[in-house]
């Protein structure tokens, strides 16, 4: 819109996409420890040095969506409308993705259900958000369903529909290979927690 409204000589920087002909690199060769190497062509270098789409490198996002479909076949994949489909975003690592999810879901004062003990990095990501931790006991098989049920007994399912309810919005657990305990939820326990 800015480009169309301005004079033909206008050079807009609004998109944050610099002219790729001005990049100082033409190509690169990467050599691995085993002696093998691969070359990044001019077109790959341009793509690597340019700002990309927010969800991530388009070919990688497309490949990951296909992988999710092949391995998990999400039930919402073929649903019409906003409840359907599949989307994802590539993050710089698991903590980056987790922090982004927490930022979307949690506001100051919210109650969240959380394994105790749990991964220290998770606590570091949650503390600045000002949420309240509702610790749920774990054992050698992970989160204990009776302990979770006891924590939730303060609320009714109808409380989730009340705007001013303090019912927990998030349950955080590490279902497989929990850090620091090493516990993994059994399938029957996962089903019980899900109910």
- Greater confidence (48 vs 14) lies with 48
Q: Facing residues of 82 across strands?
A: none
- Strands 142-143 and 170-172 come out as unpaired
Q: Where are the domains of the chain?
A: 2-49, 54-90, 94-194
**pLDDT band with cut points at 50, 70 and 90 for residue 62:** very high
Residue 157 DSSP code: G
> Percent of the chain having pLDDT more than 90?
60
DSSP annotation of 131:
P
CATH architecture of 94-194: 3-Layer(aba) Sandwich (3.40)
Is the confidence at residue 1, as pLDDT, over 50?
A: no
For residue 171, pLDDT over 50 is answered with yes
Cα of 90 vs its chain's centroid, Å: 8
What pTM value is reported for the model? 0.71
Question: What pLDDT score was predicted for residue 11?
Answer: 67
pLDDT digits (tens, 9 = 90+) for 101-117: 999 999 999 999 999 99
Distance, in Å, from the CA atom of 157 to the CA atom of 93, rounded to the nearest integer, reads 34
pLDDT at 97: 93
CB atoms within 10 A of CB 3: 11
């Amino acid at each position: 819109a800015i480009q169309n409204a301005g004079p033909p000589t206008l050079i807009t920087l609004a998109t944050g996409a610099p002219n790729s002909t001005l990049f100082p690199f033409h190509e690169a060769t990467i050599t691995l420890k085993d002696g093998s190497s691969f070359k990044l062509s001019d077109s790959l270098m341009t793509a690597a040095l340019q700002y990309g789409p927010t969800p991530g490198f388009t070919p990688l996002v497309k490949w990951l969506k296909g992988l999710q479909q092949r391995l998990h076949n999400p039930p919402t994949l073929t649903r019409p409308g906003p409840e359907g489909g599949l989307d994802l975003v590539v993050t710089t690592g698991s903590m980056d993705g987790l922090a982004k999810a927490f930022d979307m879901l949690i506001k100051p004062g919210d109650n969240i259900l959380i394994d105790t003990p749990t991964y220290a990095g998770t606590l570091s990501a949650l503390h600045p958000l000002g949420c309240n931790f509702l610790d749920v006991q774990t054992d050698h098989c992970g989160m204990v369903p009776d302990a979770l049920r006891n924590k939730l007994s303060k609320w009714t399912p109808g409380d989730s529909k009340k705007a001013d309810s303090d019912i927990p919005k998030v349950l955080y657990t590490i279902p497989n290979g929990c850090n620091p305990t090493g516990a993994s939820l059994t399938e029957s326990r996962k089903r019980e927690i899900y109910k």
